[in-house]
A and B are shown apart, each in its own frame.
Chain A
Amino acid sequence: DQQVKQNSPSLSVQEGRISILNCDYTNSMFDYFLWYKKYPAEGPTFLISISSIKDKNEDGRFTVFLNKSAKHLSLHIVPSQPGDSAVYFCAAVGGSQGNLIFGKGTKLSVKP
C-alpha cells in the first residue's frame, strides 16, 4: 500500500511556462516532506522541503505548497527550463529512524 503517491508518471511543459508536480500521501502523521530531482543513473538531488507547520516554502524558481487537510502537496517550477527535465520524487519522512518514503516519481520534460 503506497503511502506517498505521484499519480502522474510524466508531464510535458513548454519552456518558460509553469510546471506543477503533484503528490498525495495517506499517513496524517507525516510532518516533513521533500522533493528530489533525479537524472538517470545518478542519485537524487535535494530540491526543496516543507514542514507541516507551513503551507508554502519558496526557493528561487521552486515553490512547494502543502495542503494538510487534503494530504496533498505540489511542486511549482516557474519559469520551467529545459535543464529541469528529470524525474521528480516526492518523499515524506517516515519510520522511527527518519527514513524517506518515496512516491514513484514524475518524469518532467521541458521542451524548448
Chain B
Amino acid sequence: GAVVSQHPSRVICKSGTSVKIECRSLDFQATTMFWYRQFPKKSLMLMATSNEGSKATYEQGVEKDKFLINHASLTLSTLTVTSAHPEDSSFYICSARDRGKMNTEAFFGQGTRLTVV
C-alpha cells in the first residue's frame, strides 16, 4: 500500500526552540495532507489541513503562528512548532490521501513524539 514517511520519530527540545517535522508521501502525490495531534488517552485531533501551494487551514483553537505548516510540493508537508513550550509535548501524526481518491483510506506517518523540556 501507499507509504507516508514522517521524520523524526522522536525529538526532545528545549523550551523556546523550534522543531520541524517532515511528512512525505513516498509513492503517491498528495495535494492535501492533514496534521493531527494526540494527547494521552485521547483521540487524534485534527490540527490543520495542508494544501500544496496554498495556505494551510487551521482548526479552531490551533495557533497558526505557533504551528507553521508548509506544503511545498505534492509529496512533502512540514509542521514547525515554534517557540516550543512543555505543553506542546505530544504525539503529532501526519496523514495523506492519494490525489483524486477522496473516499479511500488515508495513510498515516509513523508519528513524532515531541518532548519539550
Q: B57 to chain A: which residues have CB within 8 Å?
A: 97
- Are B108 and A43 within 8 A (Cβ)? yes
Classify the secondary structure of A's interface with B. Answer: strand
B43-80 interface code vs A (CB 8 A; 1 in, 0 out): 11110010100000100000000000000000000000
Check: B106 CB closer than 8 A to any chain A CB.
yes
- Are B93 and A51 within 8 A (Cβ)? no
- Are A99 and B49 within 8 A (Cβ)? yes
- How far apart sit A74 and B9, CA to CA, in the bound complex (Å)? 31
Q: Which of A41, A89, A93, A104 contacts B103 (CB 8 A)?
A: A93
- Are B43 and A34 within 8 A (Cβ)? no
Check: A45 CB closer than 8 A to any chain B CB.
yes
Assuming the A-B contacts A43-B109, A46-B1, are A98 and B97 also in contact, with contact meaning beta carbons closer than 8 angstroms in the complex? yes
B1-19 interface code vs A (CB 8 A; 1 in, 0 out): 1001010011000000000
Q: A22 to chain B: which residues have CB within 8 Å?
A: none
A12-44 interface code vs B (CB 8 A; 1 in, 0 out): 000000000000000000011010100001111
- Are A44 and B46 within 8 A (Cβ)? no
Q: A103 to chain B: which residues have CB within 8 Å?
A: 43
Within the complex, what minimum Cβ distance (angstroms) separates B29 from chain A?
15
Check: A80 CB closer than 8 A to any chain B CB.
no
Check: A49 CB closer than 8 A to any chain B CB.
yes
Nearest first, the 5 closest Cβ-Cβ pairs linking A and B are A43-B108, A46-B105, A104-B43, A43-B111, A102-B43
B contacts, CB < 8 Å to A: 1, 4, 6, 9-10, 32, 34, 36, 42-46, 49, 51, 57, 91, 93, 95, 97, 102-111, 113
